[in-house]
Amino acid sequence: MAEKKSVHHDEFMKLHMFKEEYIAKLEAIGIKSPKELANALKDDEKTKDIQEHLKGVGPKTIEHWKGDLEAERKAEEKKEEPKKPAPKVRKVKAAPKKEAEKKEEKKGAEKEAKEKAGEEGVEIEEEGYEVKLKPKLSKETLYALRIRAEIASRRPAFLRQEWHRRKRLQRAKWRKPQGDHSKMRQHYGYRPNVVSIGFGTPKGARFLHPSGFKEVMVRNVKDLDKIRPEVEAARIAHQVGMRKRIEIEDKADELGIRVLNRSG
């Protein structure tokens, strides 16, 4: 016949590293529930008695039991706490009709002013964020751009050989390390990383602007005719003066071409 389980069997088994053998041994001492065990663990003499009867139970296990029993006690207290009644909501009277009428009159006056300005041909500038033009890209290109961003986030800063010795090399362009005894050329672990294939970007996203456009250099208004607005964007050359730059920007707006380096 199978032995009958104690009423508090499941509660005891929730304790850290608790074994079924301990239930019978604790009952022999006079501890039949987790609450009695919690009270007994508060007394040092009873705690020593429990350690003697239960083999393998040390100070660390008892500390775990104390923490588990305390957590269960707090959970029970929260359940027993009565719910507080909902606070009474104070009803606020609606604004008087006079104020509402004044607001409507103001709105009507603003509308009339806008209509009059439209009839007279006066342009009213409304402040707001203008959404920049975006390219029409294929799924493959969008995926390549996302992979490019991931690779760029983990790409290290490539430093020149002996950059820490010579100040002029700290901001110099990359050069391949050469020399028979160069530890950097031999890829020693304690030397900086060297430019290699693994750090490159996907072919589908190379030479593209972060927005996804392919940049086309523009030096005059005629160069805009060669641009495909769906995929390409214009970058005005730095030699172009302000007068010609404004002409190029106005023409680009007409054609629906995005200018990457606008004057304002």
With CA atoms as reference, report the closest residue to 160 among 144, 173, 150: 173
Domain ranges of the chain: 9-77, 213-264
For residue 48, the model assigns a pLDDT of 80
Indicate yes or no: pTM above 0.95.
Answer: no
Which residues fall within 8 angstroms of residue 215, CB to CB, at 6 or more apart? 207, 209, 232, 233, 235, 260
Runs of H (alpha helix) within the chain: 9-13, 21-29, 34-41, 44-53, 59-80, 97-120, 139-154, 242-255
Share of the chain above pLDDT 90, in %: 44
Greater confidence (123 vs 240) lies with 240
For residue 2, the model assigns a pLDDT of 45
Least confident of 9-23, 175-189, 210-224: 9-23
Q: What is the DSSP-derived secondary structure letter of residue 15?
A: S
For residue 92, the model assigns a pLDDT of 59
Strand partners, 68: none
Greater confidence (122 vs 252) lies with 252
Tell me the mean pLDDT in the region 173-184. 94
Q: Is the confidence at residue 119, as pLDDT, over 60? A: no
Let me know: does 51 contact 58? Beta carbons within 8 Å: yes
Copy the structure tokens of residue 35. Answer: 């609450």
Let me know: does 176 contact 239? Beta carbons within 8 Å: no
Per-residue pLDDT band for 219 (boundaries 50, 70, 90) equals very high
Q: Where are the beta strands (DSSP E) in the chain?
A: 214-218, 232-236
For residue 198, the number of C-alpha atoms closer than 13 Å in the C-beta half-sphere is 5
Tell me the mean pLDDT in the region 135-150. 93
Per-residue pLDDT band for 246 (boundaries 50, 70, 90) equals very high
Using CA atoms, how far apart are residues 135 and 184, in angstroms rounded to an integer? Answer: 42
With CA atoms as reference, report the closest residue to 230 among 131, 133, 130: 133
Greater confidence (63 vs 205) lies with 205
Report long-range pairs for 220-226 (Cβ below 8 Å, ≥24 apart): 220/244, 220/248, 221/247, 221/248, 221/251, 224/248, 224/251, 224/252, 224/255, 224/257
Let me know: does 236 contact 176? Beta carbons within 8 Å: no
Per-residue pLDDT band for 177 (boundaries 50, 70, 90) equals very high
Per-residue pLDDT band for 57 (boundaries 50, 70, 90) equals confident
Tell me the mean pLDDT in the region 200-206. 92
For residue 32, the model assigns a pLDDT of 77
